[in-house]
A and B are shown apart, each in its own frame.
Chain A
């Protein structure tokens, strides 16, 4: 079980597999505006990534896994809302 919901926060933990996509989508459909916490996430299946891309929930947490942290999550955040240039 790697998808947990606490109030308006959806926590993704450990490796998230293809079947988790359905749960995530259901939660996001039921409670729009939920935040997705990726702190303890160790991997995201493309289906979950796609759900995050489509529903565009706010993301929090910085996972330890380098690919997630450095490439995948910035690409999800960057698509929706370009950050202002850092000075």
Chain B
């Protein structure tokens, strides 16, 4: 069922995309074929589960599409009815996921949808007995070339024909199906010399070459050209794997990264042994090799987890239409960058925040039709959902051409809701004021509407982006529309960590914030009010003891302090530690459960000796 839901969503999204094309260009054959195939496959899947209303509706939709394919011109009303049916299926898939069955009114809804298709008779499916309109079987859908359907005459064997040999002579065969033309009947009276076969095949060769090979039986053969569903789709072989297995694989690759770090230590110890120099050297060479392989493995597993955004994005057009309809607005959702790939966990975590932003865009962004006309804009609002890669990050943006956000209004509301004192609010720059929408407890809707007022604020969106290791920002100006931008990591990366000692404990510091390490003699340290500072190349840098921040006992006074200089919020800060032990590549796992909210903790990683190392975020530790 899970697989059906996942595939169903893809098929629905594909069909909706093709229908959107068809509503603009009714004669687009590729879109028509694509849509037909999607509906056909969906219908086939409904048979596996108890989804009779969905099957009935899809069957009628398939018949309508078949009629259009056969030459009956498709009207805009046809495509609108089809789109409505596809939206209905999408809605049902959501219900199925939640409740495990279709809603009670599904049968009625299906009958209504079938009625909307109007005029297209619903015939029972009869794939074998269709002399005029041969549908290429779904097995051939992924292939490219010329499809052949050869129905030899019943007396073919008597007239000396061998239909199999005839088909075998067709160049470049890639698929073959052999079926009985009619049911076999009782096998006791089987007639070995009455030909009762239908041979379907696909050749990768061009149609003229195929026709030439079959010229002697041309009256018994039908052809169809198979076109690739999407460019490149046929060449790309995919495999559906349970996400949990990939996660397990990723976890193992992570642990391997940790385990291999022990080898370096081992090599160093071996070198120290008497006569162990050569052994140590060769251990080191092997260690370098394993290092590289493990790095490759880790990167490759990371790529396995990369999935395109298209299936996620594909769910939004229907939702946007639903939301717009509920609000009496007209909105077109334009989607770009569905092919951009990001880590599966990012895709999984994006649905709710994106839906929230989209809902806001339709509800608060796009104005009511009358207001839009008054402002000289087209009645239909345009919302764009785009994704683009940016180095090791991906930028996902939701922009609308609506009223934008008025910073003055945000300031007033923030003060009214007690988030800020008036003087602080007034002192804020416009961009900072607009950013207030991410503050918990803030909601800009003057009247909480049915659509947006669900107790979820933009603060949840920001928290979700942070949980994915990214951030979200908003860019808006009155009248010009709003852009909400998610900047997210494409994949989980190895973090370089510096290991330091504080009292009896070891801690990790993310190396990207570390600027340098230094020794500071007591004469360079100055008391500045309650704290201490030292001069680093004539620049005063505040000095704090890391031990004091993490609650370790104060170390005895020393001749010189070991200091890690890190950049925290743009300023240099020196952290005094007992010792700097090592550097390593680590997979930092975010804190979960009770510790998730612990301030100053970025996550944990495993050390080669099996100990858990806590990775600190120096910025958060500072008071």
A binding-site residues for B, Cβ under 8 Å:
18, 21-22, 24-25, 29, 43-47, 49-51, 53-55, 67, 71-72, 74-76, 78-79
Q: Assess whether B177 is in contact with A47, with CB atoms less than 8 Å apart.
A: no
Interface residues in B152-168 by Cβ distance below 8 A to A read 152, 156-157, 161-165, 168
Q: Assess whether B195 is in contact with A54, with CB atoms less than 8 Å apart.
A: no
* Nearest CB in chain B to that of A28: its residue: B187
- Contacting A47 at CB < 8 Å: which of B176, B192, B201? B192
- Complex Cα–Cα for A75 and B187 (A): 21
Residues from chain B with Cβ under 8 Å of A51 in the complex: 190, 192
* Nearest CB in chain A to that of B160: its residue: A18
Q: Assess whether A46 is in contact with B162, with CB atoms less than 8 Å apart.
A: yes
Number of A-B contacts (CB under 8 A): 73
Residues from chain B with Cβ under 8 Å of A44 in the complex: 164
In the complex, the 8 A-B pairs of residues with the closest C-beta atoms, listed nearest first: A21-B192, A46-B164, A71-B176, A46-B163, A25-B192, A75-B176, A54-B184, A67-B168
Interface residues in B165-202 by Cβ distance below 8 A to A read 165, 168, 173, 175-180, 184, 187-188, 190, 192-193, 195-197, 201
Q: Assess whether B193 is in contact with A79, with CB atoms less than 8 Å apart.
A: no
Residues from chain A with Cβ under 8 Å of B157 in the complex: 18, 21, 46-47
Q: Assess whether A50 is in contact with B196, with CB atoms less than 8 Å apart.
A: yes
Q: Assess whether A55 is in contact with B176, with CB atoms less than 8 Å apart.
A: no
Residues from chain A with Cβ under 8 Å of B195 in the complex: 46-47, 50
- Contacting B187 at CB < 8 Å: which of A24, A29, A46? A29
How many chain B residues have a CB neighbour from A under 8 Å?
A: 26
Q: Assess whether B184 is in contact with A49, with CB atoms less than 8 Å apart.
A: no
Q: Assess whether A50 is in contact with B197, with CB atoms less than 8 Å apart.
A: yes
Q: Assess whether A45 is in contact with B162, with CB atoms less than 8 Å apart.
A: yes
Mask of B135-159 contacts with A, CB within 8 angstroms, 1/0: 0000000000000000010001100
* Nearest CB in chain A to that of B179: its residue: A79
* Nearest CB in chain B to that of A65: its residue: B168
Residues from chain B with Cβ under 8 Å of A67 in the complex: 168, 173
- Complex Cα–Cα for A76 and B179 (A): 9
Residues from chain B with Cβ under 8 Å of A25 in the complex: 190, 192
Beyond A21-B192, A49-B178, A71-B175, 6 extra complex contacts between A and B, CB < 8 Å? A29-B187, A45-B165, A47-B193, A50-B197, A51-B192, A54-B187
Residues from chain B with Cβ under 8 Å of A47 in the complex: 157, 192-193, 195
- Complex Cα–Cα for A45 and B168 (A): 11
Q: Assess whether A54 is in contact with B175, with CB atoms less than 8 Å apart.
A: no
- Complex Cα–Cα for A67 and B184 (A): 26
- Contacting A43 at CB < 8 Å: which of B165, B175, B190, B201? B165
- Complex Cα–Cα for A78 and B177 (A): 9
Interface residues in B232-267 by Cβ distance below 8 A to A read none
